[in-house]
Amino acid sequence: MAENGHKEHPKYMNIFWWLLALTIIEVAVAIPDYAVVLKAILLIGLACSKAALVAIYFMHLKFERKTLTIIVLTPFIICVFLVIMLMPDLTLDARLDGIEKPAAEVVDTSSH
Amino acid sequence: MEHATTLDHTEDVYEPSLTPDSLGKLGMWIFLVGDTMSFGALLAAYAALRAGAGIVGWVPPSEILGINLTAFMTFLLICSSVTMVKALESIQNGNVSRMCTFLGLTILGGVIFLGLQAYEWYHLITHGLTLTGIPDHGLSGAAISGSTLFGPTFYAITGFHGMHVTGGVIYLIVILIHGLRGRYTAEFNHEVEIVGLYWHFVDLIWIMVFTFIYLL
């Protein structure tokens, strides 16, 4: 892993300016009202690039073995699967609520 | 035949055994990978609950949460990440006092962040965002209604992150005390690098929380 003594340091201030610029762009992108899907894609893209900058340069992933990068990426991929697997469950519930309630009311009024 | 020759020359044969510093670093990375799953589970639950409530069933976060303050908090954590890498850079060049200064600045960033989060929570609670309810009126002044799960998901996720920042500040203070006592040198500084990994991770998670909870 780390070689002792003096290491090559990336230009940390450059990374800082990038992170700052991306944060400002993110806030600017978030405030106006427009298509939710487009906004979500833009914001998630910006957030992931910021997270990648922090991991690659500040956490020195760039200077470690490639295997570590693979290990670190694993939970992020699992999380994406987690969201996808949870989605149908809850959105299905919402759809069923919408369908069943009016039907039940109709039955109630006709029986009384 | 070809297989046999390639097997003889796999990287692993030449891999050095784990040294105390690389072992500690690997341990921290494994903890962070597990911690990513904790935050991932919380954010996934939030996404699923919000999707389940539908667009009209969930109050737009911009109606309840102020973005300006949290944008500043994001900026603060990014700054404290920079002072953290500067601290590591300093000690790798053998400059102990410079490292202590930068560690102190990192701790200061974390403490201000926590203070602002406490202020934000106090403000939100008095405004009506609690574990069981949401405010009657949004920041724009319009009446709002929606799922009361807004509060619990918000407080669980930002609270879990705040606990990580608190832990990080304590961890950094311990390392700073070690540093002030002269434990670290240009040759021996992996503990500073490991606390840095934790601190950058907390910053990374906040970048995600800021986007998913406040902006989306």
Per-domain boundaries in chain A:
1-64, 65-112
**What is the per-residue pLDDT for B116?**
95
Is residue A108 over pLDDT 90?
no
Write down the ipTM of this complex. Answer: 0.80
Q: Which two tokens stand for residue A51?
A: 């997270």
Helix axes A12-30, A36-53, angle to 10 degrees: 170
pLDDT of residue A3: 44
Encode burial over B40-66: b for 16+ CB neighbours within 10 A, e otherwise: bebbbbbbbbbbbbeeeebbbbbbbbe
Question: Measured between beta carbons, which residues in chain A are less than 8 angstroms from residue B75?
Answer: 20, 23
Q: How many Å apart are CA A82 and CA B212, to the nearest integer?
A: 16
Determine, for residues A75 and B36 on separate chains, whether the beta-carbon distance falls below 8 Å.
yes
- Which band of pLDDT confidence, cut at 50, 70 and 90, is reported for residue A95? low
DSSP for B175-212, written as a single string: HHHHHHTT---SSS-HHHHHHHHHHHHHHHHHHHHIII
Q: Give A49-62 pLDDT, tens digit per residue.
A: 999 999 888 888 88
Percent of chain A scored above 90 by pLDDT? 12
> Helix axis angle, B67-92 relative to A12-30, nearest 10°?
170
pLDDT at B56: 80
Is B93 exposed, middle or buried, given 0-12, 13-18 or 19+ CB atoms closer than 10 A?
middle
Chain A closest-CA separation from residue B118 CA (Å): 22
A36-46 confidence digits (pLDDT tens) = 888 889 999 99
Residue whose structure tokens are 């700073």 = B176
- Which has more pLDDT, A87 or B1? A87
- pLDDT tens track of chain B, all 216 residues? 445 445 555 555 555 667 767 788 889 999 999 999 999 999 988 888 888 887 788 888 888 888 889 999 999 999 999 999 999 999 999 899 999 999 999 999 999 999 999 999 999 999 888 888 888 877 777 788 888 888 899 999 999 999 999 999 999 999 999 999 989 988 888 899 999 999 999 999 999 999 999 988
**What pLDDT score does A4 carry?**
43
Structure tokens belonging to residue A104: 């039940």
The model carries a pTM of: 0.83
Inspect the interface and report whether the beta carbons of B216 and A9 lie closer than 8 Å. no
Position A104 pLDDT exceeds 80: no
Q: What confidence score (pLDDT) does residue B16 get?
A: 62
So what's the pLDDT on residue B203? 93
- Which CATH homologous superfamily contains domain B20-215? Cytochrome c oxidase, subunit III, four-helix bundle (1.20.120.80)
**Residue B81: what pLDDT?**
94
Q: How big is the A-B interface in CB pairs under 8 Å?
A: 133
Residue A83: Cβ within 10 Å count: 17
Please tell me the distance from the alpha carbon of residue B195 to that of residue B152, in angstroms, as a whole number.
Answer: 30
Nearest Cα of chain B lies from the Cα of A105 at a distance, in angstroms, of 21
Supply φ then ψ for residue B74, to 5 degrees: -60, -45
Q: Are B79 and A16 an interchain contact pair (Cβ–Cβ within 8 Å)?
A: yes
A101 min Cα distance to partner chain B (Å)? 16
| Chain B residues near residue A13 by CB distance under 8 angstroms | 82
Nearest residue on chain B to A34, alpha-carbon basis: B216
